[in-house]
Amino acid sequence: MSFIKSGFPRALAPLLIGAFLLMPGAAFGEIDRVLVDKSQRKMFLLKKSEIVRQFTIALGGIPKGHKKQEGDQKTPEGVYVLDYVNEDSDFYRSMHINYPNALDREEAASRGVDPGGMIMVHGQKDNAGMYSGLLQLFDWTDGCIALSNSEMDEFLSLVPVGTEIEIRW
């Protein structure tokens, strides 16, 4: 390494390399797909089909099955896009899932119901504190996908807007 030959203190080289590897996303590169397995309560971040990170998630109060209407407490199933970050979220920070899509709206209209919306990957309320880990053991959202706040920070540092998210049972 030329910077070592140029008088750079050798003792600092491992520290700099280690710091680089600990930077969010540095070891993985950009995540290109998010997979949510509702039956396992797991979220997987993928890069070129390889799982590089996984999280335990909380879901809506009635998680099995596809979201069909506002208030059904279900998390949608299918392929969507994470289309924007919301830094003014009621639940710490969040990233929006583009539910409902055209098919979801059409299906809801055929039944005369509102498909719902504002489905997010989000953190917890700021006052979760020491109960943060315990909260992740229960399905407590209205249909969103919840992470702990520290995991939400990591998620947002790794997953760019525009990433595909597949949600399945």
Write out the catalytic residue numbers.
Answer: 122, 144
Q: CA-CA distance, 158 to 82, in Å (whole number)?
A: 12
In Å, the largest CA–CA distance within the chain is 73
Structure tokens at 155: 């998620």
Q: CA-CA distance, 62 to 73, in Å (whole number)?
A: 5
Q: Are 84 and 95 in contact (CB under 8 A)?
A: yes
Q: CA-CA distance, 105 to 97, in Å (whole number)?
A: 15
Q: CA-CA distance, 59 to 97, in Å (whole number)?
A: 14
